Chains A and B, each alone.
Chain A
Amino acid sequence: GAVVSQHPSWVICKSGTSVKIECRSLDFQATTMFWYRQFPKQSLMLMATSNEGSKATYEQGVEKDKFLINHASLTLSTLTVTSAHPEDSSFYICSARGPEGGRNSPLHFGNGTRLTVT
């Protein structure tokens, strides 16, 4: 149980175009999902918290107009990188808190999306 599916696994796009990444909770409902970014050989940095039916909460330094997050249903959150530039190239990974609930419930992660902007 508690499977999170992320699509696509990798994408290459040209500078100036937009890319949408989907994150789905397959066997549970996720009112909250988290989007992380990971640069090569670095840790995971929280970008934003996606809330079903309301606006996302962005971390300091993350441009909300560049990284558009939509959480329209209890099982789907999307991250759109608008007007992508080479510096946006990174590994983006989504996660959701499992249905177990409670303080000790781990985050379940998608397999990540490797974005390369040329």
Chain B
Amino acid sequence: AQKITQTQPGMFVQEKEAVTLDCTYDTSDPSYGLFWYKQPSSGEMIFLIYQGSYDQQNATEGRYSLNFQKARKSANLVISASQLGDSAMYFCAMRGSTGRRALTFGSGTRLQVQP
């Protein structure tokens, strides 16, 4: 079974500052993928970034980077230079190598960027 834990229900950050959203996971799969999605108040799910369990380097995508620590089973999302439009729910998700191809989601973190 796979489990994703996001321990921060809500986070505040000042505009232009960086923020880290925490994500820890648990899986017995030897190979897996970790994803981050953004969900604005309108409801759509926007894919942000992916990290594979065997990737040697941390993933980066524009202002988004993933701090992947495999031994600690954590995959924290770092957003640099926060913008007001970054205010949204952020979900960490996982796909294992066996079984289902769906994603298992964490409980989410609501990020509010303050001017």
Contact = CB atoms under 8 A, between A and B. Distances in A.
Contacts of A42: 107-108
A106 B37 CA distance: 10
Task: Tell me whether chain B's interface is mostly helix, strand or loop, or mixed.
Answer: loop
Nearest to A110: B44
Interface string B73-115: 0000000000000000001000101001111111110000000
Contacts of A111: 42-44
A104 interface: yes
Interface of B: 31, 33, 35, 42-45, 47, 50, 52, 91, 95, 97, 100-108
Interface of A: 32, 34, 42-46, 49, 91, 93, 95, 97, 103-104, 106-112, 114
8 contacts: A32-B101, A34-B103, A43-B91, A95-B102, A103-B31, A103-B95, A106-B47, A106-B50
